[in-house]
Amino acid sequence: MSMMINTPLYSDDIDVLAGALFAWCAERSIKLQSQEGLSAANVAIDLYNAGYQTQDQLLGALHNYDLH
């Protein structure tokens, strides 16, 4: 079993994540608190930790990520 080390998220990080996630959900008429919205939030955090650290980069990566 591998352990994932999470780095703390700061206010600016949250703003980037939220902005990209809200935009992605709005484009698809998805409620953030739906299962698909929550799945997208998890993917967004993973993508952010993988290096997509601006709102535009993150939104582009979400567009390219298959959430199904």
Structure token pair of residue 64: 């390219």
Q: Nearest 5°: CA angle at 46, between 31 and 5?
A: 130
Place of tokens 């080390």: 5
The answer, yes or no, to whether residue 3 has pLDDT greater than 60, is no
Structure token pair of residue 36: 């698909």
Quick: pLDDT tens for 28-57.
999 999 999 999 999 999 999 999 999 999
The answer, yes or no, to whether residue 1 has pLDDT greater than 50, is no
